[in-house]
Amino acid sequence: MSPFAIGYFGALIGASSLAAWSGRREALVGAFLLLVVSAFAGIVWGGAALRWITLVVALGAAAVGLAYSFRAFLAAVLPRDAARAIRSAPLTASFGLLTILAYIVTAVFAPAIAPFGESQIVGGAFAPPDDRMLLGGDQLGRDLFSRIVYGARNTVGIAFVTTVLTFLLGGALGLLAATVGGWVDQLLSRLVDVLMAIPQLIFALLLLTIFGTEVVTLILVIAVLDSTRVYRLSRAVAVNIVVMDYIEAAKLRGETLWWLITREILPNATAPLIAEFGLRFCFVFLTIAGLSFLGLGIQPPTADWGSMVRDNAQLISFGEVTPLIPAAAIALLTVAVNFVVDWMLQRSSGLKD
């Protein structure tokens, strides 16, 4: 048994005992389960597995610590109402907020953060990591780290623009259908039914075959296809608001459609729509990443996470982790947004009871 393994199991046994002694039930269960899993993994896969587990646990602990201190920080600096909301937020939500903030900073200051240009060739193809190239080179010898930083700008930026378009289109039509009702509602809803009867990725592939894979085409295709879901949601939300007596009162007063939608309905629909914006962003982001991974999304030489995974995938068969980093970057942002949305949804449903 290596000294590492001895230290590893010693620390776990110590942690379990400490948890048991201080009566922390959840910590005890967690530590002991980890002990059992580690023993099993250690026997089957040897010391490497233990190092992986240590890495994962350490990362998890770091994330928890970061989230915890960020929540305390926000509660300290924000105005009173917001601080109260933040203090009762779960750690996952504060982790999500912090992560989203980090992505925004990276995207905005990409040229300052990245040591090299987006498509600047720095070394040899698949050059190993060194002092100059933090994560090594890609298949053309460009700096992988710089490209990941620029990817934040491109991938996230394109997904964000697409989501905004999706919302403008789907939200406007959904609110209109709910408010006007009648044949407008019927027509739009049946159209959306048909569009939604084709799986989205498949439909996107069909349309991209026809219209080509320019970035603008990509944004428009995804925005139109995804707006069907926003339409459904905003219509459903608005239908519940439209039956309210204050809408009837406004209608009977003789208010215009524009007034009804913008002054009476929209202010009451913001909470679910913001949550939906988060979820839609995740979905659009994953769809674009998926298309880019298939080589049909964002085209080279633009740095983009989906296509970076595809281009460097062969390294994985040599046990390299670097191609997974852009994929992890995608996952991390989606997780973060989902965490925040989850919290918001729980808050708004909790207020109803």
Which parts of this chain interact with other proteins (CB under 8 A)? Answer: 26, 29-30, 45, 48, 88, 92, 193-195, 197-203, 205-210, 244-246, 248-255, 263-264, 267-268, 282, 286, 289-290, 293-296, 306, 309-310, 313, 316-319, 321, 323-324, 327-328, 330-331, 334-335, 337-339, 342, 350, 353
Nearest approach in angstroms of CB 199 to other proteins is 5
Distance CA 68, CA 81 (A): 19
Given the complex with other proteins, which of 10 and 128 has the nearer CB atom?
Answer: 128
Given the complex with other proteins, which of 104 and 263 has the nearer CB atom?
Answer: 263
Question: Taking phi first (over 0 means left), then psi (-120 to 50 degrees means alpha), and beta for anything else, what does residue 24 get?
Answer: beta
Nearest approach in angstroms of CB 245 to other proteins is 4
Nearest approach in angstroms of CB 304 to other proteins is 13
Nearest approach in angstroms of CB 92 to other proteins is 6
Q: Are 144 and 301 in contact (CB under 8 A)?
A: no
Q: Is 125 exposed, middle or buried (0-12, 13-18, 19+ CB in 10 A)?
A: exposed
Given the complex with other proteins, which of 4 and 45 has the nearer CB atom?
Answer: 45
Nearest approach in angstroms of CB 219 to other proteins is 18
Helix axes 324-352, 144-151, angle to 10 degrees: 30
Strands (E), the chain: none
Given the complex with other proteins, which of 137 and 323 has the nearer CB atom?
Answer: 323
For residue 218, the tally of other CB atoms under 10 A from its CB is 25
Q: Are 290 and 310 in contact (CB under 8 A)?
A: no
